[in-house]
């Protein structure tokens, strides 16, 4: 079993601010760091540190050596990562003292990757392996369709939210993962209840209010968020999605997988950073033991 992540790889430029800037306001940063990021890379690292065998499919630019090294150090197989001319994707992340953030994203190589090479990178897929995808690359629908045809379970983290992208990918998705804002946007746009969406499972994360799993013909599962001191919420949703995929990949039932993902996300928001803040399997299991 393995988790295959088709997703973005970014270089994050993180600025710590006294508060998020208002329109027209100039602020002096209290701190700065550069680190591996991108929803795809974050989810790959989260899944790998949570115990899964992970292969990443994506792209970096000519400046992407450090990003690749960061993935490999976390235990992610990067044979499927294309190395292109031009810049690696990057993000400017502004974080205020309570942990809330604002993000500006430049896609770079994530939108320039080759579909043919990405398809070829699926070589070696086994039945019931998991494909984890997001909305920060090109060709999500094509890769999801190919994966479903190979017998993979497709987990789709529908962020950043884009209605056209969601509608294109949903026919090839087993499990749709969204936060509460994205879920409300999707329901408003389509005018349908979750049980009428063309996917088997819908997972909605609600921050401090926990998360829910809805499946056709079953009562919804709700797991609470674990109480922690929040330091930085950047990457929390990615941590949840990656840990959820890791748990499902090793055969966990939905409630068990959701509790595992909630514990991982709780640990991740209690420390600064994105990919670098993803917790190890031993940390997640220890927290579940303490809270259970």
Distances (CA, A) of 60 to 39, 54, 121: 14, 18, 15
238 flagged as catalytic: yes
Residue 15 · residue 210 · CB < 8 Å: no
Query: Which position among 77, 129, 238, 249 bears the catalytic label?
Result: 238
Dihedrals phi, psi of 283, to nearest 5 degrees = -70, -40
How would you class 118 by CB atoms within 10 Å of its CB: exposed for 0-12, middle for 13-18, buried for 19 or more? buried
Length of the chain in residues, anyone? 292
Q: How far is CA 189 from the centre of its chain?
A: 23
CB count, 10 Å around CB of 215? 17
Please state, in angstroms and rounded to a whole number, the distance separating the CA atoms of residues 112 and 115. 9
Catalogue the active-site residues. Answer: 238
């Amino acid at each position: 079993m393995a988790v295959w992540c088709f997703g973005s790889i970014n270089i994050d430029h993180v600025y710590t601010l006294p508060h998020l800037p208002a329109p027209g306001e100039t602020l002096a940063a209290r701190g700065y760091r550069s680190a591996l990021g991108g929803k795809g890379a974050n989810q790959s690292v989260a899944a790998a540190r949570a115990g899964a065998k992970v292969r990443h499919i994506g792209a970096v630019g000519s400046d992407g050596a450090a990003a690749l090294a960061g993935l490999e150090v976390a235990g992610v197989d990067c044979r499927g990562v294309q190395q292109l001319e031009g810049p690696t994707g990057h993000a400017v992340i502004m974080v205020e003292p309570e942990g809330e953030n604002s993000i500006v994203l430049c896609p770079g190589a994530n939108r320039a990757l080759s579909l043919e090479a990405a398809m070829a990178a699926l070589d070696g897929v086994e039945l019931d392996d998991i494909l984890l995808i997001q909305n920060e690359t090109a060709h999500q629908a094509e890769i999801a369709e190919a994966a479903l045809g190979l017998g993979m379970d497709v987990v789709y983290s529908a962020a950043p939210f884009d209605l056209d992208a969601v509608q294109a990918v949903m026919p090839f998705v087993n499990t749709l993962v969204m936060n509460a804002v994205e879920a409300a946007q999707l329901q408003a746009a389509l005018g349908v209840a979750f049980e009428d969406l063309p996917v088997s499972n819908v997972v909605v994360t609600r921050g401090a209010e926990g998360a829910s799993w809805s499946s056709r013909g079953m009562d919804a599962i709700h797991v609470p968020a674990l109480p922690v001191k929040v330091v930085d919420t950047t990457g929390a949703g990615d941590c949840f999605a990656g840990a959820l995929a890791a748990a499902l990949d090793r055969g966990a039932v939905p409630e068990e997988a959701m509790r595992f993902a909630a514990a991982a996300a709780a640990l991740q928001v209690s420390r600064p950073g994105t990919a670098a803040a993803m917790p190890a399997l031993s940390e997640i299991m220890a927290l579940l033991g303490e809270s259970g």
